[in-house]
Structure 1
Amino acid sequence: MATLLRGEIRAVLQPAGNSQYQGAYCPPGVPFKEVRRGPFDGKTDIAVRVGIDGEVPKLMTFSGGQVVYEYDGRDKQGRAVYRYAPKLSSSHRDVMNGVAEVYAEHALNKAKEGR
């Protein structure tokens, strides 16, 4: 676990909620549930600094700003919860196209086995 400095609280990264993934890009053949998944979901060794107004940052970015997580309140342990924000993540379309390729390859292999 990360050591907390003065003014910091623990944070956790979670899959996108309804408000984050509504209207996000999803290629044909890919279940919409895949849109919710962020590359850093489940990460708990993160700390965020509370501002002088008592608020945490609204957005958290990774990979040079290509992956964005959006603040979504606190959990029962008092951690700041950040949810994957596919509509704000510039890498989302490329990742989803890669997921579509995997789904298409799987469908092709399944079809070949069925012959």
Structure 2
Amino acid sequence: MATLLRGEVRAILQPAGHAQYQGAYCPPGVPFKEVRRGPFDGKADIAVRPDADGELPKLMTFGNGQVVYEYDGRDNKGLAVYRYAPNLSTSHRDVMNGVAEVYAEHALKQAKGGQ
């Protein structure tokens, strides 16, 4: 668990909600549920600092800005919830193409009678 400094708020990273994944890239053969998944989902050892107006940052970025999570309010424990934002993440298309390759390999193995 992250140590909080004065004014900081604990945050958790979650999969994309409808608002974040609507219209996001999903290659053929990949279930749309995969679009929701972000690389840091579930990470809860994060603290964010409100700005001078007391508002939390709208976006949180990782990997030199290639992965973006968007603020989505607070949960019932008071944690700030940030949801994966595939439409804002520049790495999303490459990641999804990699996922498509895995699904295609699996389908090929199944077709050949393997596991």
Q: What interval of TM-score do these two structures reach, taking the shorter chain for normalisation? A: over 0.9
Amino acid of the residue matched to residue 100 of structure 2? A
Structure 1 residue 51: deviation in Å? 1.4
Secondary structure (helix, strand or coil) at the match of 1:113 reads coil
> Any idea what the Cα deviations from partners look like across 1:28-84, whole Å, max 9, x if unmatched?
000000000000000000000011211100000000000000000000111100000
Amino acid of the residue matched to residue 108 of structure 1? L
**Alpha-carbon distance in 2 for matches of 1:54, 1:22:** 29
Of all paired residues, the percent bearing the same amino acid is 83
Once the two structures are superposed, the pairs formed by residues 1-115 of structure 1 within 5 Å of their partners are 1-113=1-113
Amino acid of the residue matched to residue 85 of structure 1? A
Unaligned residue ranges in structure 2 (runs of 5+): none
Question: RMSD between aligned alpha carbons?
Answer: 0.7
| TM-score normalized with structure 1 length | 0.98
Secondary structure (helix, strand or coil) at the match of 2:42 reads coil
The farther-off stretch of 58-67 and 105-114 is 105-114
**Alpha-carbon distance in 2 for matches of 1:51, 1:20:** 23
Structure 1 residue 7: deviation in Å? 1.3
**Alpha-carbon distance in 2 for matches of 1:105, 1:3:** 43
Amino acid of the residue matched to residue 35 of structure 2? V
**Alpha-carbon distance in 2 for matches of 1:25, 1:16:** 13
Number of residue-to-residue matches in the alignment: 114
